[in-house]
A and B are shown apart, each in its own frame.
Chain A
């Protein structure tokens, strides 16, 4: 068998090997014994996603493309952490740094590129980094800390992504760039200006144009000096000034090299047994830094090397997308508007921060810049790829009809690449859908890796899936809000992983720094739940009801509902309630539907005194939290009762009271199936039967009416209480904010909920209960703030220090 040696264990080299392996199954194909050398000690990972690792959006494990098992099962010898230092073309061997030879029949050079380090004095100082590999990322992560003065040299894709990643880690980041405009290779000056504004609004400083003359400091870097003589302080410097192909090995072996290793259309070098692929190559005078063309190269080379020489590589139009959450930038094709015959169509809206520029040549889309509004990216890319005649579409260029896209997918040939980042073609996706019965985007991503990198092909993938998969299922993925554009699930991971403890921190790092009435209360809930109450509570992020622990009414007064566990009260409590109603001239006293008493029309300033005089705990009737347990009289008085519903209800209320939930949480416990306290239309209900309890969840009798699902039937009251607690905590942890239990149960399905609560392994159950009990231990009756207010003016209307002339409505000018 022939021996194939691949020098370089990166995306292009391994992609090529994958294509060679795919051809293995075909008879009559030459088979290879394969050895891959990688100078990094890691398996092949998705380099494009390093910025997401830096930002904490993905872990290092999550960006692995080929795990060690892949090498093993494909009989590939992986020599990781081994650097090849020479090629002896005469004897067809490669030699590693320690002088050990490895013979080859065919050799692929996939040596990639390295960070270009400009010749500036001082770049060798400590704390000056580049950002190119997983190890670089790890050493940056080790240095990053809150308030660290960080300068990123380079305002291109990589520099901006590195800047955002470090800022997310708490560093104070400044980006300096040699040019007048950011990302000048992908954007024009206007686009660059929009981008700059957006980057600055995230809290990153941008300084343009700045030429760095030197880095100074004693041993480690202390700052930068610009060509103008101006200086700035820096504790950490990241150089992201571009890349240069790694050509040393090829040059040493006497291969033809210019800027990169010169390859022809078949990816052959000047030696018939040596090939090259990836960022180390130069094809027709062009070198490469974006991933999509490299996958095309890999495919062409796989054909050439397996004696199927025929497919040729032609560099596709460049397309680049900035991977910073909330900063939408897309650029593709030629953006040179001075080119002859190019017409420009432009649109901008400064208020929206949106800028679109389309370059049209011969009525075909020739290039585009999209800033702040990339919704139509797929339609445009399709126009560009397919060379759509735009003459009939001239009136719709800036806001193209989205319906075009479905047809576009159907028309695409199977060989067309759908996912540029991972090199997945339409045919492969269709094949995978049929072969594995894929129904959802999640499954599609898992099987094909399509849309797992930058995500810009997600729309295209979904259209394809919708068209091809017989049982297509929409995945509901709700983004919290545009202030923090992540799904709830992702946010929970972020908050947990990044150990964020306050709403302000989350908004500063992952959001727009402002927040709004939608996301602030949701984040408040999430922090309280995830940290079991041990977070930095920020009252300003709570709705007024949760600032003053009462329910605001239409006239700005409040309603007060004391806790009356299980709906059981006493003459003493009733007397106090009556006295309070008199003393504070409360306009209405009303029995609620929840077996409690509501005092309506209380002034904010009276709240602490009303609570004190009542001497009862808060009933939380104002919050997204535990409301009450409605009970019937059960075995205590009822002649039909078979279970002690009253005391069980009181105990259930005691165990869960004072806790927050995604939405209000109402419970009911009934002593027999007559269901007098309507337990089967509550979020959690216990229905007593002779010798057992049915625990039911997800019931509703409000805007929606829904009969609760049976979670489990148990014999003892203690078991019922534990089942209730398990569901309660599970809903707290997995429910989206403002999602009632009845929507939650329908979204997840009762089977899944059973499996992960009452039928979960004991260890899992214990963990759920532990977290619940930890939260419970830190929770307390909110009305105790009557004596220890959260701040001096929590309930107070401020009286001015000075009297001044009262001024009337009419006097306003």
Chain B
């Protein structure tokens, strides 16, 4: 695991997400009531910024057209949605959120592989 220090945990308010750009990768980190989850930021439908979406349980709703994605798996909540997103292992140490940017996984890719 290669952990990258991202930001202090209080920078992400409860039940909100914040975008982080690292090179050409853009992720969104969410604070699910003290648990931090990281997902690719761009909705596979039309590229909507998921970091700006409303959270429902452990899923986020894209602010543009309302697609739902589970933040734990990256899977679309509705079966009819064809694409999924990568999720990244995330942990908190000394109040700092760390993300393993090298270990992003897309569940559907795995299923196909």
Contact = CB atoms under 8 A, between A and B. Distances in A.
A720 B104 CA distance: 61
B56 A800 contact: no
A802 B5 CA distance: 6
Given A544-B53, A813-B104, A813-B105, A804 B2 contact: yes
Interface in B46-75: 46-49, 52-57, 61, 63-64, 66
B25 A806 contact: yes
B7 A556 contact: no
B56 A515 contact: yes
Contacts of A520: 54, 56
B63 A539 contact: no
A540 B16 contact: yes
Interface in B20-44: 20-25, 29
A556 B25 contact: no
Contacts of A805: 23, 101-102
Contact of B11 (A516, A521, A792): A792
A27 B25 CA distance: 90
B15 to A, nearest CB: 4
B52 A556 contact: yes
Contacts of A797: 18-21
A809 interface: yes
Interface residues of B, number: 44
Contacts of B92: none
A26 interface: no
B56 A539 contact: no
Given A539-B13, A540-B13, A544-B52, A811 B102 contact: yes
A1 interface: no
Given A554-B64, A793-B18, A516 B56 contact: yes
A496 interface: no
B25 A807 contact: yes
| B interface, over-half SS | mixed
Contacts of B105: 812-813
Contacts of A483: 56
A165 B53 CA distance: 33
B91 interface: no
B52 to A, nearest CB: 4
Interface residues of A, number: 38
A99 interface: no
Q: Among A515, A543, A800, find the residue whose CB has the most chain B CB atoms closer than 10 A.
A: A800
Query: Top 8 A-B pairs ranked by shortest CB distance?
Result: A806-B23, A540-B15, A544-B52, A514-B57, A516-B56, A804-B4, A801-B5, A517-B61
Nearest to A514: B57
Contacts of B104: 807, 812-813
A401 B6 CA distance: 56
Interface of A: 483, 514-517, 520-521, 538-544, 547, 552, 554-556, 791-793, 796-802, 804-809, 811-813
Given A516-B54, A807-B25, A552 B63 contact: yes
Nearest to B31: A540
A796 B10 CA distance: 13
B46 to A, nearest CB: 7
Nearest to A483: B56
Interface string B94-113: 00100001111110010000
Q: Among A515, A802, A804, find the residue whose CB has the most chain B CB atoms closer than 10 A.
A: A804
B86 A812 contact: yes
A806 B27 CA distance: 12
Contacts of B64: 552, 554, 556
Given A517-B56, A552-B63, A807 B6 contact: no
B22 A807 contact: yes
Given A556-B49, A556-B64, 14 more contacts: A517-B54, A517-B61, A539-B13, A540-B54, A541-B15, A544-B53, A544-B63, A552-B63, A556-B47, A800-B22, A801-B6, A802-B5, A806-B22, A808-B23
Contacts of A813: 103-106, 109
Given A800-B4, A802-B4, A808 B19 contact: no
Contacts of B86: 812
Contact of B25 (A521, A539, A808): A808
Nearest to A538: B15
